[in-house]
Structure 1
């Protein structure tokens, strides 16, 4: 031990001695140098290294500048209300005037249109009639530019999304260039519409999702939480603009299910960690989006506090609390025989009990009874005694109240016919009985009778009296034992697409579509009252409006008796079979044609089929035992190739299935996912090629995209003069750019 210690000590001393002598030895062996050369000389970066470092900053800036130029150039050259500006400009006006309206889309986008009007100094009085010239006091160019900003922001987001999907620089530029130089995206961004907002929300959601995916190995870190919640916020916003946002929500949901399933299969992961993953996703991707969606409706109700054209879509209590409404104002509270009233269905999206002189084409062929969401005199009904009681005498009749258990007749004020039902199948809901208007004051039978069943009353526990607005009641047909119902099923065109009214054989007291209330009430013998002091709950109004939106949206079906030159079919979109004239085609006005970049459309559509073949090829090779791909490459194909393709299908297939009328702009969110798919395939096939082949290939792609974009730019910026001078753009007869 002593010798070992001595050896270690001597070794340590030797090492110390060497370390002390080395500098002097090195100094002695070197030639003398000037003092300035003793400083450390930093190696300068090459041009390629500098470009690689700064490209992620400068490239998106340059692309965004180009987006500003293409989206804003000559944006105010046309001074007429163009295409759907007639709708969304008008909806924005309602927010400025605080007047309640109804539309099939959620409110966020239209509130932003209203905000653009406020910022532009617009007072909301212009009616936005289609083709009408904008007055000088409406700064429509600013409102259009505000809307164009959302289209502009899509370009840098597309750039960074492609980077997050791990595409190489040339493919990132290709994706960004296709979004920038897509003519339809340019055109649709230049008007007061919702489509650029919808597209921005879709692009933002995909970007946030890709950022979150790339944080998967840093779970529960601050940046992981940031992009999880940003994805949820984006989902909430895009769904609050248009319900089409649910399709990109489904894509994120598909990814989340797969991610959680993989984690569930990881037996090394503690149950507490798995539960935390599930809990955070419920909060970030379900609760936060839903809260944002509800917040948009809360703002909608708060801003639109005055009576307007959309009142009838809402419950009677909601309407009664609007400023300037006639609902409930000065109406008698208690209903008696001889009262004239409108009767509102209390189901979500319910309308007013209605009749008109037109008859059913089949069945009884008696006068139609429907539910209608607009106010007119055909919604008015008189409460009369049943045929077994003394007739009503307006002069000498004492007040006879109507309440729970009363057997009554309802007589249509305009035609004098009785609300009636019989054992004939309803025209659409065959399992229910048809409801019609039949006979008159003297002609009829006991099938004109209805028994009142009070469900609840917001004003009193007393059910012996029927009250305006506050009483919810059912109407039972005593002869057939069925209940009057309006279930948001729309009649065909012969019924003017109004809601079918039936007598349902199911006795379900909780079925709100069998609940009714008196909305407006007139009777000179009764004193006026103000039942509007009773508030309508927000959550009820929220659900009510959403059901009404979906019901009305489903009713937007093509009319076979009416030619719609603007409508198109789902199969026409991916092959760019048609475009859309956005305005009149007179030589004196500026004309816009909604059509995409031919290369972007055709190549992106083809890429979907090519991707399917590529995946099939590698699956066959894998089954045969070949290992062509590394794990990183499989991962890249999965998330950068298959998920964009899935996004395309999720945004495209619903329009194949749904029966509503469709237009070319419904394809634009799906097109973005096809562009991402094409960018992935370009990156995949060129990734291992030589620098020269890549340069030539991408150079050709860039040139074709830019060249076609410039060729078709007149349809985006506005065609002036005779449309015949643009006949060179009419490649196919279905492209109605020119009449030549």
Structure 2
């Protein structure tokens, strides 16, 4: 009826302020305390369904110190108030830098999967355990890593660890005998491989500590570094093998192995290209499907 009752009465408290302080736009942090229930209006961190326009759920918390119970006024239109320039609220660079990163971190941590959405976990990414559908219409598009590239990168990550340990032992032994190993192309390649391994780890390992929703494509930046590591380590191994052979045989073996690797990679792209450019017809688990031979893992859903 537009009149209301005592349940509509809220007390506005300025956080860190005193009774009688004026409420300032943006600057003042407000706590809305229910007059009868003595609880603070807060957010639960849960997202409402579509009927609630996917906004944050609100509740009343008896704990008046709840950090999610702080509110502020962003805009106030009242003709009798004096006009204030936005420059009065402008923060400095350092304050904006930390605030923007805090907001991004909080926003990322709070992302939750939508209804019916396919998510993944970090352990699934390097082994190419499962892809993700991007289209379920007539032509189905399935985001899946090229298994030759993915599993090849995984193997070379293990090879790098072995090579790094062996090379470290050789260096220690050489220093102990007073004959340090000469620095050359092999050492430069190994150093470059080490940096790409660090890049892969920095782009992959932090996802294990994230509580937010994760998707298959989050591994792609780390994949770039692991692919570079594979290329560098391939050159390192081929150069090492070539050094034990005669010049003519070493050159022939180098180009043959390199050609085999490149042709295998190109053919694997051709083989799995329907996943990227669109599939139609029966699914791969049906006997008359043209994709049946490409479903190498049962977890692949195409």
- TM-score under structure 2 length normalisation: 0.71
| Residue matched to 1:734 | 299
**Which residue does the alignment assign to 1:710?**
270
The within-5 A match list for 1:235-250 is none
Match of 2:145 in 1: 596
User: CA 1:505–1:590 in 2, change beyond 3 Å: closer, same or farther?
Assistant: closer
Q: Which residue does 1:610 correspond to in 2?
A: 159
Alpha-carbon separation, structure 1, partners of 2:126 and 2:45: 31
Contact 1:484 1:504 (C-alpha < 8 Å) held by counterparts: yes
Which residues of 2 match residues 146-225 of structure 1 at below 5 A? none
For 1:517 and 1:549, the matched residues in 2 are separated by 21
Structure 1 residues 107-146: aligned runs within 5 Å: none
- Aligned partners of 1:691, 1:720: CA distance in 2, in Å? 45
Corresponding position: 1:685 with 2:241: no
Pick one of 244, 257, 281 that aligns with 1:697.
Answer: 257
Q: 1:500 to 1:615 in 2, by over 3 A?
A: farther
Indicate the residue corresponding to 1:656 in structure 2. 208
Structure 1 residue matching 2:73: 3-state secondary structure: strand
Deviation string, structure 1 residues 442-499 (Cα, Å, up to 9, x no partner): xxxxxx874644879xxxxxx67657x477264497x9xx99696x8835999x8647
Q: Secondary structure at the match of 2:28?
A: strand
- The equivalent residue for 2:73 is 517
Pick the aligned partner of 2:290 from 687, 711, 725: 725
Equivalent residue, structure 2, for 1:554: 109
Q: Aligned residue pairs: how many? A: 272
TM-score where L is the length of structure 1? 0.32
Name the residue aligned to 1:72. none
Please tell me whether the aligned partners of residues 41 and 58 of structure 2 are also in contact (alpha carbons under 8 angstroms). Answer: no
Separation in structure 1 between the aligned mates of residue 165 and residue 223 of structure 2, nearest angstrom: 23
Change (3 A) 1:645 1:520: same
Deviations 1:283-325 (A, max 9, x none): xxxxxxxxxxxxxxxxxxxxxxxxxxxxxxxxxxxxxxxxxxx
Asked if structure 2 preserves the Cα contact closer than 8 Å seen for 1:581 and 1:592, the reply is yes
Distance in 1, Cα, partners of 2:273 & 2:149? 14
Equivalent position SS for 1:660: coil
1:622 aligns to what?
171
In structure 2, distance between residues paired with 1:471 and 1:684: 59
The Cα shift of 1:534 comes to 3.5
Give the C-alpha shift of residue 684 in structure 1: 1.1
Separation of aligned partners in 1, 2:74 and 2:223: 49
Alignment partners' CA distance in 2, 1:471 and 1:569: 40
Residue 515 of structure 1 and its aligned partner are, at CA, apart by 6.0
1:639 and 2:183 are equivalent in the alignment: no
CA root-mean-square deviation: 4.3
Residues 656 and 532 from structure 1, CA distance in 2 versus in 1: closer, same or farther, beyond 3 angstroms? Answer: farther
> Following TM superposition, by how much is the alpha carbon of 1:590 offset from its aligned partner in structure 2, in angstroms?
2.3
Shift in Å, 1:519: 4.8
Give the conservation status (yes or no) of the 8 Å contact 1:483–1:514.
no
Distance (whole Å) between structure 1 residues aligned to residue 292 and residue 185 of structure 2: 47
- Any idea what SS the aligned residue of 1:687 has? helix
Give the conservation status (yes or no) of the 8 Å contact 2:141–2:278: yes
Q: Name the residue aligned to 1:676.
A: 228
Query: 63, 67, 86: which is aligned to 1:535?
Result: 86
> Does the Cα contact within 8 Å between 1:618 and 1:628 map onto a contact in 2?
no
3-state SS, counterpart of residue 490 of structure 1: strand
Deviations 1:600-656 (A, max 9, x none): 111111111111111111222333347684223575145311000000000101112
Distance 1:528 1:591, change over 3 A: same
Cα 1:610–1:499, aligned 2, differ >3 Å: closer, same or farther? Answer: farther
